[in-house]
Chain A
Amino acid sequence: MAHIELRNVTKTFGGKAALKNLDLEIADGQFFVLLGETGAGKTTTLRIVAGLEKPDDGTILIDGVDVGGWGAAERDVALVLQQYSLYPRYTVRENLEFPLKSKIRRVAPAEIQERVERVARTLRIEHLLERKTDRLSGGEMQRVSIGRAIVRKPRVFLMDEPLSALDAKLREALRTELKRLQITLGATFLFVTHDQVEAMSMGDRIGVLDRGRLVQVGTPSEIYARPTNTFVARSVGSPPMNLLDGAVRDGAAVTEAGFSLPISVASAHEGRPVTFGVRPEHLRLDPEAPAKARVHDIEDHGVEKIVTLATGDAFVRLTAPATQHPRIDESVGFSWNPEKIILFDRTSGRNLSAA
């Protein structure tokens, strides 16, 4: 269990900045998810915390102690990777024993045995203990790999997209399992992913990384409801938030897509070029509404439908209850909840209501 803090961490690879002045704080026992696209610097952050990479600048504190000069072995962190994290040629048991057999730990053989079996029970891999790792399925491999992390009782768990290589069903199952594990262990997790569903469903807090900068940190609901900029708005939520260019005129949003609907935002932004952000669930099909569009596509998810509307040269997505039955190419009216419209500055992409 540990508290982690990164202060002003910068890292460049061959002149290309991977991380720029990153400040990050993870509380003890927190499940922290770093969300970002490939190349955003998530893995670099993780590797810096693990001690596999040295930052060019900045400090890393674990429990308030500067660990900048410590090697990976001394930091007492556990790492789970997307793949290649199990030693080939070893059996599952040998893999689980490996971290306990390190010279810096010196665990008694009886205790090794006991801990390995307990972990195997927790992760339901007891029947695999004597199997070689190349005879495991993807899900079993990741379970063993998580097992190798927890068998040590490390201070921090670092996970680099541990579920990305798995198929959807397994991913979902392991997601719940990991979260449950974190709660029972009460451990600090730093979990890296590009999958916003993983981030939203598992994280106590989420940090959104964009090209080496941490753009927003907050709870999943904060990030979802109040994205600091259009980047965050786009990366969280499925289907994603609708972003429409336009301007505010006389208390209404006039979009370049050709419709205008009322909003209830401060008039300070009157006339200024903005981007309106609205979540699909805050839009609805409404025959009375002044805004008209053509139904472009319908995805039926059973409980609800995701309807894509074409208006002007833009597409607007909304969720409609299963009771509504729009047809493709039908002309429909739609409206939105004026309370839920977020204004972003058109050029910088910053959330104007948050400032």
Chain B
Amino acid sequence: MSGARWLNLRRGFYRFRRSWLSMVGLVIVAALVLVALVGPALVPHPEHVAGGINTTARFLTPSASAWFGTNELGQDVFSLTIAGSRVSLLAGISVVVLAAGFGTLVGAVAGYYGGWLDEALMRFTDLMLTLPSLILAMAVAAAMGPGLGNTVFAIALSWWPGFARLVRGEVMAKKADTFVIAARALGAGTPRILGRHILPNIASPIIIKMSLDMGFAILTVASLGFVGIGVKPPTPEWGSLLSTARGYLPDYWWTAIFPGSAIFLAVFGFNLLGDGLRDVLDPRARR
């Protein structure tokens, strides 16, 4: 890495540390990742995560032995909530990566080639943007059947147009730059120009959008779970946990409060982190 780029990164990190909201976001996200990685192995009742039930211990109030209480099947809510972090994080990342990958492909091709291809791809992208994304995701997920993979695919299907628009604009701005013309003059082919010269130079806005989108992707996964389309029990998904708990309010409030708060905390952490990253990587967008 060149000296100047390194210095920029260090300056950026300094700015990031100076903003305590970004640091709070970083701490929340780091904790979430840690919990998702090791949590499911350490929870007090892994058998409940796997779908086991204990009908003699239904609806226990939160106590020292069951921190978040137990639900209608006698399952430990703490274990389920912790295990849910892995499901949500994995689904959120998959949605964003799939959407960014496909969106970048469409946007780069449209922006680089221009002409009728650009026109056709962008009209299609705009149409996809006018579709109500949650309804589209619900319809696709319902038709494909329950399961985490299907849910992720359904959401990503409505998510890529934002990336396509972003990447197209950036590619169009870069393709007339001297270094791209130089590369073409040296005989580089289109895939090489796009992959080696243009895309690395527009990585920042793509990464910013990915980090800003993470929170909303997690929220959307939970939303599908909540309306009962998408991940189904026994997979411990926060949205579907909350949906089940809804029927047991107000008496058994703990079955709803903890998974709901987990969704909020995860989305909040990623939003703070995303905002902080944008300030670091894209100084123009500050304030």
Partners in one complex: no
Binding site for A on B (CB under 8 A): none
Binding site for B on A (CB under 8 A): none
